[in-house]
Structure 1
Amino acid sequence: MTQEQLRLAASKTGEAAWLKFGPYLTERQWGTVREDYSAHGNAWDFVSHNMARSYAYRWGEEGLGGISDDQQLLCFGLGLWNGADPFLKERLFGLTNGQGNHGEDVKECYYYLDSTPTHSYMRMLYKYPQRAFPYRQLLQENARRSRHEPEYELLDTGVFNQGRYFDVFLEYAKAGPDDLLITVTVHNRGPKTARLDVLPQIWFRNTWSWGYDGYRPELRAAGPGEIQAEHRDLGAYHFYCESAGELLFCDNDTNGTVLYELEAGPDEYFKDGINDYVVQGRRRAVNPARRGTKAAAHYPLKLAAGASQQIRLRLSRAELAQPFADFDQLFAQRHAEADEFFDCLQEQLPDQDARNIHRQALAGMMWSKQFYYYDVTQWLQGDPGSFNPPPNGRRQGRNSNWPHLHNADIISMPDKWEYPWYAAWDLAFHCVPLAVMDSEFAKNQLRLLTRDWYMHPNGQLPAYEWNFSDVNPPVHAWATWRVYQMDKKLHDGQGDTVFLESVFHKLMLNFTWWVNRKDRNNHNIFEGGFLGLDNIGVFDRSAPLPTGGYIEQADGTSWMAMYALNLMRIALELAKTNPVYQDVAAKFFEHFLYIAEAMTRAGDGSFNLWDEDDGFFYDVLHLPDDERIRLKVRSIVGLIPLFAVEVLDEEMLEAMPDFTRRLRWLLDNRPQLSALVSRWQEPGKGERHLLSLLRRQRLEKLLTRMLDEAEFLSDYGIRALSKHHEEHPYVYNTPEADFEVRYEPGESSSDLFGGNSNWRGPVWFPINYLIIESLQRFHFYYGDSLTVEYPTGSGQRLNLNGVANALAERLTSIFRRDKRGRRPAFGHYELLQRDPHFKDYLLFHEYFHGDDGHGLGASHQTGWTGLVMRLLQPLAPIGGAIERPQPQQESVRQ
């Protein structure tokens, strides 16, 4: 085993707490629901970016490239000042939902470059302009632009022209679980000498101002370049700052004078004290006694053109006489061990470019861990000592029906700036790449959302903090099965059935919630609201329809068919050791058949979501007068039926006699259902039976559309909306208004759903990943007997595993250099494409332009876009999860 794997093993057994410290600070705590105590629920405005430097947060902390312990009691982050900005750069700036022409958006340049799973080695890069940061320019230009124009980005302002910026590399290495080595390395990339104030900061999260416990921990100067931290729960730590100038101290308390026009006492030193001292020269803003709950070491640097300087820091529980004697040796050792760990993971990757993409994708996954704290009952009631009691309507407003929810855990975030809160279906996708690094963490993430203090008593999983009651696609069972399979392979075929069983029982409750709440007429046709797809439809599916009535959803029903098959497969696995699960598996088999029948049957078409003439699935609008109208929008809503596919073989059926007996009775006595299971009447040794919403003829029709470059097939994957709608928009007419859906390859010009809702046409990794996986499972059944034209009309035919590989190549090409050395994800920015200080640093955007592949949306949503690391080598043609040749087990374990 590698040294990193040994650390992971020690962490799992509790032998050593290697995960105690990590990158658990968010990049943005301002503008979040948890910190919102406004009367109208306007979270973005209640605590703004401009207020944040003076406001002590209630529920968490933020920091530039920061770390904290796993309860976020003690925090470290970076402060910078270029001498031109009106305040320190301590947090990332971005536009709020109402300020951006396409919703909220971070306006900074930073990269997560490396991390091991125990965070024994981490590296990130922040690029800081040497002239004044263009805050006002970014606000004004984006406000001027319409939704029909692109966002105005930091690169567009010219602040990086001629290299007039600092590259600030922040690196961490752990000498031990409680001993962290930190380097800050600053490079002047510009043509002239430039100054930069660097302020490594350490502080305690404010736990004392809320009226429950007044205990106040303390930071104090303990010698030249040394700060001692004392906390009754965490113990004592020493923060060593080599060759530091001044040590500056204040308190992590709200500045009521600045924010609320309150009078300050003579011995009060507020959260913004270090900022005011450095930027404004206010000497009284910091505590002359050199103690407090927030502190910084001040390094005023002056760097010649092209020069660099390194600052060395150490945070240790031990008191060290010579904290920097072994510093460089330990740092080099941890870096080498990180290389060893990734060499093991990347044995099968074809080239260095692929390894770079793979490593940075996983680094983004690791850096996106966050301590997430939210007690909804306390938030609803308000704190006795708070500046901001909640408004009277709070107890009937947002999240008021989730009083049981109490979160205080390390959770994988979609993006720690734009989405600094977990999202249920994002998290499921995260766990697949996470399992490559740390399968135990991935399993714990999946367990977490099914815990009693997360999951609603009625069985619903919490969606996200803006509205926990929103409905996300039910992909938790899919992720649980995939992670179980991956973990099983890592442990020589020994599956963690305790994990699988514990999650399975909770998911049965969630499945029942769906059946009881989202099948309006008990016809096995499901609704679910927007289901994460925002602007992709004719109407906002989470709001009352302008026509009245409701929508029978092709995607909602398909997700439920997939869910039933996922739970059936898990139950069959558990039945290998406990036969009682055979009956449970049969129940989910039956659920699937009734959903499949309702969704695909012919006849009067009342509930038939399949259109035989178009060869496509559509949503059906059910009007108040009982009329039903197919909403003929060709979107991924109609491709999601591909995901409900499973294959049963005779060997499995023979091993599960109770399951098979129930199946045979059901299919013999319900002939309309037996037609939904391929070859049911032709059993034989080695025979396979396909469970799918698509039999061969319909599958071929659907794939003809999906693989048509004039429709869904982009050079960079499958588009969310058919390009057919560019020249032929879908229009639904009502007496009051016309509703139009038109193909848009990038940011949506419609604000139908509000905010940054942009599913209209771009390429999204999670949906593409499920398409690829489903094609593999269809290939497992059909083999080479089924080939399709790829692309449609080309005359070239591939089997379905070949199509899956071809789609994976298109998706990975977004990040790979092409023959001209350009990466499509970088778009038209020549600085990114050519400059040696940019061209190999990658961002994993939320989605990608449907025609040219450049990155769009949240720039650091490595979460589900991190799935790219699973597609970087040819896919092995098997029927389970996306598989590829495994590295030699001996090399992993020795």
Structure 2
Amino acid sequence: MDNKNAEEQRLAVPDSYKNWKRWGPYLAERQWGTVREDYSVNGEAWDFIDHEKARSNAYRWGEEGIGGFCDSREILCLAPVFWNGKDTILKERLFGLTNNQGNHGEDVKELYFHQVSTPTHSYSKYLYKYPQKKFPYEDLLLKNRNRNREENEYELLDTKAFKKNKYFDCFIEYAKADVGDILMKITVVNRGPKKAKIHVLPQLWFRNFWKHNKRFERPNMKATSDNSVLSRSIRNGRYYLYHEDGEQLFCDNETNNKLIYDVPNEVPYVKDGINDHVVNGKATVNPEKNGTKFAVWHKLKLKPGEEKSIKIRLRKRKLENPWADFDEIFDQRIKECEEFYRDIIKADLPKSHQTIAKSAFSGLLWTKQFYYYDVYKWLFGGPGEAKPYRTNARNFNWQHLTNRHVISMPDKWEYPWYAAWDLAFHMASFVEIDPYFAKEQLLLVLRESYMHPNGQIPAYEWNFSDVNPPVHSYAVWTVYEKDKERSGKGDTGFLEKAYQKLLLNFTWWVNQKDKSGTDLFEGGFLGLDNIGVFDRNHMPHGITRMQQADATSWMAMFTLNMLRMALELAKTNKTYEESVAKFFRHFLNIAWAMHHIGKKDISLWDEEDNFYYDVIEMANGATDRLKVRSLVGIIPLFAVEIIHKDLFEELKEFKIRAADIVRTRPDLASLISNIEETNSEGNYLFSIMRGFRLEHLLKRLLDEDEFLSDYGIRSLSKYHEKHPFVFQHYGHHQIQYESGESRSSMFGGNSNWRGPIWMPLNYMIIQSLRKYYKFYGPTYVYEFPTGSKNELNLNEIANELSKRLINLFEPNKEGKFQYHSEDKRNVFTKDEHFKNQHFFYEFFDGDNGKGLGASHQTGWTALIANLIMDLDANKGIS
């Protein structure tokens, strides 16, 4: 404990750890337009509560804010509100386009940055950039609506909103004096050339939990002085809020029924009361100074470059002088935050790499969110509630699902709901900064209130039954290994809990996605949206089955992950030896099946092209390969594990069974390295691809005319730019290389797997190459790039791929960050208040590296931090 910094000490004590996390940045950045809040008849989630209705409609399942904090059950919420005096509404929430409004699907149209946070959120900082001119809501909406899929999106910086730097930098900071003592500081800086006015309204409000649960009485806030407010709730007791100066405004977090539904309001001062009072001067706030929503109204006038701060303190107990130690606490928490990251990120890394890693980790921490969704109540209403009328009973088969936890989100605006495979990748990064949270999250998704009784892991709220790649086992083993390496002791309790639940999930895959029992799997789109020549969830008429190279390879990887976990658990419990044998045999079966399909013995591996393809089966029994060179054919690379012989030494039962398999089915064993042979260091190689297949696959993977880009591995080979793959069957189906935004409307068209670079799959490619290197060693070399005659070993190739991905976040020859290479105004290059701020895009253009899709997808793009740290560990940084 003595060697740990202050934040690590808070993390190391379980009770303290949980208490320190009682408050955090758990507010969504968009609650409107979600499935949870959709009570429309036909399931039109984007339209039922849109941005316009959001300020007047009290939500059922959650809350939202700009840089907000709340407790871990989202009973009480704290967030700032801004108004430039020109907008027709207060800036309470981030604006963006719905899936139907944007030319490339949903998209936030704001400038904000998750600057820093510690794992317990003892210190957190957020930056919001707010125009001094009228916010261009209509301009953004109309211009994007009128653009087609061939055109770029029209962004906030494309408007005149930031011309001549006429904007405010709004810094929102939180520091905890203790677990129930939250300090908030809002600092506004005028970046413009002239004096400018801004209104700042820190808000405190209750999520409306009482309307839908009659056992909870209505909470209350009331003024106790001109500078303090007392909130009371049966659910979280008393909290005292202290503020400096400003005018106190109260209303209730209740829907304005009169405005939205033209029926009488249940209370006189409704949710939009503060908005209407400040903007329009209406008498819509409670003169008695009480309610369930409160704001303190500050009116500032700032000279060019001037900054002013507003202080708020929220605590469980009274305090005579809330400001006496305010600045001291902030200074201390900032210092502790810096110490924490100095211990996590090595000081000898390049400064730019340190900045990228810290920003990635901090964004990951800021994208935690309280997520509440009870499907049964959503479908049928809670006690005392009328049953909602729905013709589209979405997620009807998931009535057991009750989620009420803080969960890591992909992006709290564009994807403010968890996705199973996104979350698994998040934990590969979280384990570097908060292994406790990483383990908690992985077990959470396996709970009985999440996992289906049949063993399926929920995908995401739009359709929990959709199938995401089975990467949860990969994440569990990755987190276990990294945590063990750091602490010196493996958390076998965590591993065993996860293993037992993953057995259920494995069985679901075998029973549901290999219905013919041939060890060849299907799963539809598998998170890769439009990567297929047609929608793999809805195949054209006459195709009875698709045997997927990616689904089958993911399952081979799943099998190896389970084998490796069973080996670890067998060290202390010999019962797991039987599981080792089971998964060893299952892996061999899958490897064999990938190369022997049906009566014609067609294989997923094409001997002519030396690549893996999906195989379709027609109603007449005919089979054919869909010769699309995509990540689908690269994913078999992930089914690899290197295991040292010492792990098998004491497993007598397994040795007997393995020897029997090898003796009776040598054709199976021949698909991998001989179980009786190891390399010079005593390692066995378990892999679908032996040397010759690996060599051929790498030849395509590392070819700059195919998969290899200057910025990583493309999702579709550039070969298909000039050679589109066409499939004529009940219509014309075509797939062509598209380096950037999607031209297809498949899955909403807001993401594209037909050419761009995706961080998680690149990360797995690199990790797999490092495993192969561990077996083959430094003498096994390949051309990099293909045709260059420059030969590197697999570890060196992994390093070079890492460098290309890291280059996305570094200045190019023109001084621009590569992912902002099309920044015509050079805002992110020359403006000192922009250039050190990073976005973490969902994916990147396969040709020029431009950042695309969701702009704050720190979730899996945070893996850039892992790549930086792994590159250093593997001597890739000199």
Residue 742 of structure 1 is matched in structure 2 by 736
Contact 1:273 / 1:286 at 8 angstroms: preserved in 2? yes
Judged with a 3 Å threshold, the aligned counterparts in structure 2 of structure 1 residues 8 and 587 are, in CA distance, closer, same or farther, namely same
Mapped partners of 1:612, 1:684: distance in 2: 27
- Kept after mapping to 1: 8 A contact 2:56/2:256: yes
Pair 1:490 & 2:490 matched:
no
Q: CA deviation at 1:677?
A: 2.5
Give the TM-score normalised by the residue count of structure 1. Answer: 0.95
How much does 1:544 deviate? 3.7
CA 1:457–1:673: 2 relative to 1, 3 Å? same
Comparing 85-94 with 343-352, greater Cα deviation is found at 343-352
Shift, 1:784, TM fit: 1.9
TM-score w.r.t. the length of structure 2 is 0.97
Residues 873 and 23 of structure 1, relative CA distance in 2, 3 Å threshold: closer
One-letter amino acid of the counterpart of residue 357, structure 1: I
* Pair 1:666 & 2:693 matched: no
**CA gap 1:682/1:192 in 2 versus in 1, 3 angstroms:** closer
Distance in 1 of aligned mates of 2:597 and 2:243: 74
User: Is contact 1:873-1:884 (8 Å) kept?
Assistant: no
Structure 1 position 607, deviation (Å): 4.6
Percentage identity across aligned positions? 52
Letter in 1 for 2:503: M
The answer on 1:592 being equivalent to 2:592 is: no
Question: Aligned in 2, Cα 1:627/1:823: closer, same or farther, shift over 3 Å?
Answer: same
Counterpart in the other structure of 1:571: 566
Tell me whether 1:854 sits opposite 2:873 in the alignment: no
CA distance in 2, matches of 1:884, 1:482: 21
Could you say which residue in structure 2 is the equivalent of 1:631?
Answer: 626
Measured against aligned partners, the alpha-carbon deviations of 1:598-651 in whole angstroms (never above 9, x if no partner) come to: 102499654510001111000111111111111011000000000001123322
Offset of residue 29 of structure 1: 0.5
Q: CA deviation at 1:15?
A: 7.4
Quote the offset at 1:326 in angstroms: 1.0
- Following the alignment from structure 1 to structure 2, what is the Cα–Cα distance between the partners of residues 293 and 627? 66
Aligned to 1:402: 398
Q: Equivalent residues in 2 for 1:95-494 (5 A)?
A: 95-210=97-212, 212-213=214-215, 215-242=217-244, 244-264=245-265, 268-282=268-282, 284-347=283-346, 349-383=348-382, 389-393=387-391, 397-492=393-488, 494=489
Residue type matched to 1:8 in 2? L
Distance in 2 of aligned mates of 1:828 and 1:433: 29
Matching residue of 1:79: 81
Go from structure 1 to structure 2 and tell me whether the alpha carbon gap of 1:604 and 1:205 turns closer, same or farther (over 3 Å shift): same
Q: Does 1:809 align with 2:803?
A: yes
Q: Retained in 1: the 8 A contact 2:714–2:846?
A: yes
Could you tell me which residue of structure 2 aligns to residue 880 of structure 1?
none
Shift, 1:116, TM fit: 0.2
Corresponding residue to 1:45 among 41, 44, 47: 47
The alignment partner of 1:549 has SS state of strand
Deviation of 1:585 (Å): 1.0
| 8 Å contact from structure 1 (residues 8, 118) kept in 2 | yes
Aligned-pair CA distance for 1:757: 3.6
Which letter maps to 1:737? G
Give the letter for the 1:463 counterpart.
A
CA contact (8 A) 2:40 2:390 kept: no
Letter in 2 for 1:317: K
DSSP 3-state at the match of 1:431: helix
In the alignment, the residues of structure 2 paired with residue 625 and residue 109 of structure 1 have an alpha-carbon distance, to the nearest angstrom, of 55
Q: C-alpha distance in 1, partners of 2:650/2:718? A: 47
Provide the secondary structure at the position in 2 that maps to 1:813: helix
Q: Which residue of 1 aligns with 2:820?
A: 826
- What is the DSSP-based 3-state SS (H/G/I as helix, E as strand, rest coil) of the residue aligned with 2:721? helix
Q: How many residues align?
A: 872
Greater displacement, 740-749 / 675-684: 675-684
- Alignment partners' CA distance in 1, 2:602 and 2:332: 63
Change (3 A) 1:440 1:83: same
* CA distance, structure 2, for counterparts of residue 589 and residue 290 of structure 1: 69
1:870 positional shift: 0.8
1: distance between equivalents of 2:828 and 2:834? 5
- The question of 1:5 aligning with 2:8 is answered yes
Supply the AA of the counterpart residue of 1:630: R
Deviates more, 1:20-29 or 1:814-823: 814-823
Match for residue 788 of structure 1 among 777, 782, 790: 782
1:33 to 9, 32, 35: 35
Q: 1:263-299 deviations in whole A, cap 9, x for unaligned? A: 246x6100000000000000x2000000000000000
- Amino acid of the structure 2 residue aligned with 1:260: Y
Native 8 Å contact 1:123 1:169 kept in 2? yes
Report the Cα distance in structure 2 between the residues aligned to 1:450 and 1:708, rounded to whole angstroms: 40
Instruction: List per-residue Cα deviations over 1:46-83 (Å, max 9, x = no partner).
Output: 11110000000000111111010001000001111111
**1:765 aligned onto 2:759:** yes
Within 2, Cα distance between the matches of 1:16 and 1:721?
Answer: 44
Whether the 8 Å contact between 2:345 and 2:869 is mirrored in structure 1 is no
Matching residue of 1:776: 770
User: Structure 1 residue 348: deviation in Å?
Assistant: 5.3
SS in 1 for 2:391: helix
The aligned residue for residue 65 of structure 1 is: 67
> Gaps (5+ residues) in structure 1?
878-882, 887-894
* C-alpha spacing 1:645/1:339, structure 2 compared with 1 (3 Å): same
Deviates more, 1:736-745 or 1:458-467: 736-745
Structure 2 counterpart of 1:216, one-letter code: R
Deviation at 1:157, TM superposition (A): 1.0
Counterpart residue number, 2:698: 703
- Work out the CA distance in 2 between the residues paired with 1:885 and 1:5: 28
Distance 1:520 1:836, change over 3 A: same
For residues 682 and 250 of structure 1, do their structure 2 counterparts lie closer, same or farther at Cα, with a shift above 3 Å needed? closer
Quick one: distance in 2 between partners of 1:15 and 1:729? 54
Contact 1:746–1:848 (CA under 8 A) maintained in structure 2: yes
**2 CA distance for matches of 1:720 and 1:876?**
26
**Displacement of 1:212 after TM fit?**
2.7
Letter in 2 for 1:778: Y
Show CA shifts across 1:80-105 (max 9, x none).
11111110000011111111111111
Deviation of 1:150 after TM superposition, in Å, equals: 1.4
Query: What CA deviation, in whole Å up to 9, does each residue of 1:103-151 have, x standing for no partner?
Result: 1111110000000000000001000011111111111111111111111
Distance 1:546 1:839 in 2: 52
Distance 1:115 1:236 in 2: 27
Q: What's 1:512 paired with?
A: 507
**Could you tell me which amino acid in structure 2 is paired with residue 812 of structure 1?**
I
Q: Distance in 2 between matches of 1:480 and 1:540?
A: 30
**Offset from partner CA, 1:386-419 (integer Å, 9 cap, x none):** 6x8521535xx21000111111001000000011
Q: Residues 807-841 of structure 1, C-alpha deviation per residue, up to 9 Å, x if partnerless?
A: 00001111122354321011221111221110110
**Maintained 8 Å contact 2:545/2:618:** yes
What is the identity, as a one-letter code, of the residue corresponding to 1:433?
A: S
Cα shift readout 1:322-365 (whole Å, capped 9, x = no counterpart): 11111111111110010011111112551221111111101111
d(CA) in 2 for partners of 1:429, 1:578:
29
In structure 2, the residue matched to 1:889 is none
Aligned pair in 2 of structure 1 residues 16, 869: CA closer, same or farther (>3 Å)?
closer
* Residues 605 and 872 of structure 1, relative CA distance in 2, 3 Å threshold: farther
